[in-house]
Amino acid sequence: MGSDNDIPVACSAPGKVLFTGGYLVLDRQYTGLVFGLDARIYVYVQALSESTSTPTLVVRSPQFQDAEWRYGYRKVEDNGGIQATQLKTAAFMRCYVLEYLKLHWPTTLGSSLFTIWADKDYYSTPGMPKGRFVDFKVPLHEAHKTGLGSSAALVTAFTAATLAYYLPPDIFSLASGNGRTKLHNLAQAAHCSAQGKVGSGFDVAAAAYGSCVYRRFSPKVLEEIGEPGEPGFSTRLRAVTDDTSPHQKWDTSIDEAAAIVPKGLLLVMCDVDCGSETVGMVKKVLNWRKERPEEATPLWSDLQRANENLGQQLRSIASTPTSSGIQSLRTIILTIRSLIRQMSVKAGVPVEPPVVTALIDACSDLPGVVGGMVPGAGGYDAVALLVEDKEEALSGLQEFLARYRSEGNENDGGRIGKVRLLGVKQEHEGVRMEDVGHNALADI
């Protein structure tokens, strides 16, 4: 295992965009339409070449300044899992994957080096640098994310690479359905813990499986695991991770076949550089829903129906593309946006702020642009657009955005600065093994 045969392993996981279902996806009654993106985070694992007095894990992210984390680790008695001791700089992540591995290895995992690479579109990069992996020239905590789901992609790729490195294929393999299910379950547990046990998990589902229609799992699935270091923690974590039976506790629904961007259309993302930021949007929307159910329940039901109509229309266009089908798609998108703006007003939360409304409307008037959404929780971070897969449509959009300036002011809640068309597009595939011939990723 791992340090015994010193065979390097690399895995990658995609970013995501929650095109429809923001806020709704937090409740199991509703679903979200999630598209994977071809921006990926890569994790390369190899034996640590340096000599250490105790088992050590070194994690490096060469694209950021001073981005190295070192951990010593030891077993905790009574199946309590792994106790990781931070040896240098800030904490990286809770090592759930090591705690899961404890029951698979008798003595030690050995010392390992993890190298992380992120596609440049995960972070705002001035000047449009060339190349896939760039030097961001700042510490990680100063990097400005573009909202593509970097944390979920990182946790999923890190978990997959660690399992693939340390476990033999008969115990874990991404090529098997059970292997991918185990990965999803373990990554959900780790990410949920890191995020303070909030969120629906749609981003990890997209990282593991790619594009899908997602219905969240019940929170009780993870509530009984407890905390690392507690007696029996590893045993409980393994039971939840390995629960792949037809009657499993995991009551999530991940329908990969239901999420389609038809041939002839592209989903593209715009990075919005805005002068203000809204904090606590999710909390405010959920408080409104709790306090005013007579307003919220009908509106959420209408949104769910419209979201389902959009997914059905995309699948219809994929099977029978017609101009009338595209026009119907435009109408459904406008309906969803109208309902989102109603929610914005009633909850007092800028899910689709006026300045973003103006931007999407302006883009939607361009030739070849079908329509757009504020993805996820909305606000000022990003815009997702459906565009005809034609060079003139993309170049026209890019030229328009290059000269676009918002007419909003502080009374509108913010002002949009530069808007940049990211280089990402939708991708159906989730986490995958990568070719490590000639140490390609290690040598970038």
Give the pLDDT of residue 354: 92
Task: Parse the chain into domains and list their residue ranges.
Answer: 2-256+428-439, 262-421
Please provide the CATH number assigned to the domain covering 262-421: 3.30.70.890
Contact 272, 352 (CB under 8 A): no
Other Cβ atoms less than 10 A from the Cβ of 355: the count is: 22
Q: What is the pLDDT of residue 34?
A: 97
CATH topology of domain 2-256+428-439: Ribosomal Protein S5; domain 2 (3.30.230)
The reported pLDDT for the residue numbered 442 is: 46
Q: Split the chain (444 residues) into runs of 10 and give each run's mean pLDDT.
A: 67 97 96 97 92 82 90 58 46 67 68 92 75 85 87 94 91 92 94 80 96 95 82 87 79 95 96 61 93 97 98 97 95 98 95 93 97 93 94 96 76 69 92 76 48
Instruction: Give the burial string for 283-298 (b: 16+ CB within 10 Å, else e).
Output: ebbeebbeeeeeebee
What are the angstrom distances between the C-alpha of 222 and each of 191, 235, 283?
A: 11, 13, 21
pLDDT recorded at residue 90: 34
SS3 (DSSP) at 153: helix
Q: 220 forms bridges with which residues in the sheet?
A: none
What is the DSSP annotation of 221-272?
Answer: HHHTS--TTSTTHHHHHHHHHT--STT-S---EEEGGG----TTEEEEEEEE
Residue type present at position 247: H
Cα distances (Å, whole numbers) of residue 123 to 146, 305, 320, 397, 441: 5, 34, 37, 21, 20
- 262-421 shares the fold of 2-256+428-439: no
Give the pLDDT confidence score for residue 83 in this predicted structure: 52
pLDDT score, position 412: 54
What lies within 8 Å, CB to CB, of 322 at 6+ separation is none
In terms of C-beta distances under 8 Å and separation of at least 24 residues, what long-range contacts does 180-185 make, across chains too? Answer: 180/208, 180/209, 180/430, 180/431, 181/244, 182/241, 182/242, 182/244, 183/156, 183/159, 183/208, 183/431, 184/208, 184/209, 184/254, 185/240, 185/241, 185/242, 185/243, 185/244, 185/250
What is the value of pTM for the model shown? 0.90
Distance CA(108)–CA(117), nearest Å, equals: 27
